[in-house]
Amino acid sequence: MIPWEERKNSNEIIWRYSKNPITKRNQFKSGARIFNSAVLPYNEEFIGVFRVDHYNTVPNLHIGRSEDGLNWVFDENIIKWVDENGNISIPDYAYDPRLVKIDEQYYITFCTDLHGPTIGIGRTKDFVNFERLPEAFLPFNRNGVLFPRKIKGKYYMLSRPSDNGHTPFGDIFISESYDFIHWGNHQWLMGKKSDSWWENLKIGAGPIPIETSDGWLLIYHGVTNTCNGYVYSFGTALLDLENPSKVLYRSKRYLMTPEETYETVGFVPNVVFPCSALVEDNKVAIYYGAADTYIGIAFAYLDELIEFTKRS
Ligand code: BMA
């Protein structure tokens, strides 16, 4: 069973877990802050790839395990990748992971360094041995998000080309591959929106797209600039099932914006940053980074998210 709590206020489309945040500062030896992370059900329990910022402020990926998806035990050591030649291949840094099961393997995408930030990718069968593939794209790029299955014989990945810093721009693109190594046929998917102020600076894909009969439900973050810095919210879109480069609908307002203290106060204030979503029947549990400091969970019903995307 995925984490779940019933809605208390009937006006809400999305509601927060009452015991948020589920991680705390300095939770384990090297873990100063744990946020922007991705989880999946695994062997009757849950497993996750976590962004952990260490005490030198450099982000790395750690595996975490949980019986209930709420209380997590983290590996003290970072993921030890091995490349295709059998050599240990540890990235200088790694952040904002996404996790998905495709063809009986678990794929992890993340942001890492190739003389500038871009999309790293790797896979594992058992969360013990990790194979690192070559970086998927040229720098600069962030928010690489795979689709959970082949579509018409090809794998698909969303990404957000960027610059070397705190990118003050950005649209989502979609790319195709037959082997997770060679990515091409890049297409522009959707852009920031000047008439929708919460997402007028940049946008980026969030969790792995959710397959529904109405299309791929994409939860994505949108950023606006204020006199005191960026504010990260998130909204939704629906992409065509057979041709995911086609946007069918896009929410006109944000689904969630920073409101609670653990979202508005932290290492980077005013950030809600979704990286994964668990779905069971009509229930959705969204895991999001809060203020680059904590992980929060929010709940919603899938049919209501689809309605929200079509009609908000
Ligand atoms: C983005 C990424 C995210 C972070 C966000 C807010 O550019 O670095 O990891 O959550 O900024 O600081």
Distance 83 CA to ligand 1 centre (A): 27
pLDDT, position 10: 87
Q: What is the mean pLDDT of residues 38-44?
A: 97
The chain-wide mean pLDDT, for the chain, equals: 98
The pair of three-digit structure tokens given for residue 164, joined into one six-digit string: 């070397």
Name the residue at shortest CA distance from atom 3 of ligand 1.
Answer: 96
On whether the CB atoms of residues 124 and 82 are closer than 8 A, the answer is no
What pTM does this model have? 0.98
User: Tens digit of pLDDT for each residue in 187-240?
Assistant: 999 999 999 999 999 999 999 999 999 999 999 999 999 999 999 999 999 999
Instruction: Give the three-class secondary structure for 261.
Output: helix
Q: What is the mean pLDDT of residues 171-200?
A: 98
pLDDT, position 240: 98
Name the residue at shortest CA distance from atom 8 of ligand 1.
Answer: 166
Q: Give CA separation, 242 vs 129, 153, 172, 176, in Å.
A: 33, 11, 18, 13
Distance 73 CA to ligand 1 centre (A): 24
Name the residue at shortest CA distance from atom 4 of ligand 1.
Answer: 292
Burial class (CB in 10 A: 0-12, 13-18, 19+), 81: buried
Q: What is the mean pLDDT of residues 10-35?
A: 96
